[in-house]
Structure 1
Amino acid sequence: MIETVETQIINLEERLRQAMLASDVSILDELLAPEIIITNHLGQLLKKQDDLAAHASGLIKISDLKPSEQHIQIHREIAIVSVRMQILGSYDGNPANGDFRFTRIWTVSSRETWHIIAAHIGMVI
């Protein structure tokens, strides 16, 4: 049975969520494109290496990550995902809990492999 693109993206989003929870740097490395642009909830611009290093060092620790309100748009080789996430965790030893919305842009390579090329995180108030 052939998966639809939307089903592939839903599965990749869940794989990403599990990798974030476990700080699984190898899976994060696989899912994030080398040239990814990440804008965090403070408006700071991060690179792939920054995100991987934060997970590898324990700077970011996520104990719970509950998704809701997931919206997916497919445009040929691009998928845009908006998902609301309830996060429980810490950043540099300080509590980092809250309600956030993630927007991610996935693109598929010539090898039929999906990667995130851009991510934006905003706090929901």
Structure 2
Amino acid sequence: MNDANLDTIVELEERLARAMRTSDVPVLDELLADDLLFTNHQGMVVTKQEDLDVHRSGLLKLDSLDASDRSVRLLGNVAVVAVRVQLAGRYGNDSFEGRFRYTRVWALLGARWRIVAAHASVVAA
């Protein structure tokens, strides 16, 4: 891995954040691997289709998503990202706001980087 790959992962992370904020389903579809394994902050395993459906339906609306404290580890054709995120928005009729930690695993599949696994946890106040 080289600095170009590191820059690519950072750019993809930024693209992912923008797509999450705006519920840009086509971009999310492009960035998530078809067999994604995502464990959310409640411990539930969510598939790619379930994640896309939440954005597509409007059930999840993010008012803000501010990422900080990002670390990237490059391991061959895999990159592991740890990032702290301040989120605010609505899920259905319920508002939420909080700090979370995400760990994402990006893999180079063919010629494209995609997220193959992710985990979220709540950061205590």
TM-score band (shorter)? over 0.9
Deviations 1:57-116 (A, max 9, x none): 0111001000111000000000000000000111112012100001000000222x1000
Note the C-alpha offset of 1:39. Answer: 0.4
Provide the residue aligned with 1:119 in structure 2: 118
Q: TM-score, normalised by structure 1?
A: 0.95
- 1:8 counterpart = 2:5: no
Provide the residue aligned with 2:30 in structure 1: 30
What is the distance in 2 between the residues matched to 1:45 and 1:17? 20
Note the C-alpha offset of 1:3. Answer: 6.2
Note the C-alpha offset of 1:121. Answer: 0.6
Note the C-alpha offset of 1:49. Answer: 0.5
- 1:100 counterpart = 2:100: yes
Q: TM-score, normalised by structure 2?
A: 0.95
Provide the residue aligned with 1:63 in structure 2: 63
What is the distance in 1 between the residues matched to 2:66 and 2:15? 13
Note the C-alpha offset of 1:4. Answer: 1.0
User: Unpaired runs of 5+ in structure 2?
Assistant: none
What is the distance in 2 between the residues matched to 1:50 and 1:109? 21
What is the distance in 2 between the residues matched to 1:110 and 1:51? 23
Q: How does 1:69-88 map to 2 (within 5 A)?
A: 69-88=69-88
Alignment length (residue pairs): 123
SS of 2:121's equivalent in the other structure is: strand
| Percent of matched pairs sharing the same residue | 41
SS of 2:21's equivalent in the other structure is: helix
SS of 1:18's equivalent in the other structure is: helix
Provide the residue aligned with 1:109 in structure 2: 109
Provide the residue aligned with 1:19 in structure 2: 19
SS of 1:52's equivalent in the other structure is: helix
Alpha-carbon RMSD: 1.1
What is the distance in 2 between the residues matched to 1:96 and 1:33? 27
Provide the residue aligned with 2:53 in structure 1: 53
Question: Which amino acid in 2 is paired with 1:39?
Answer: T
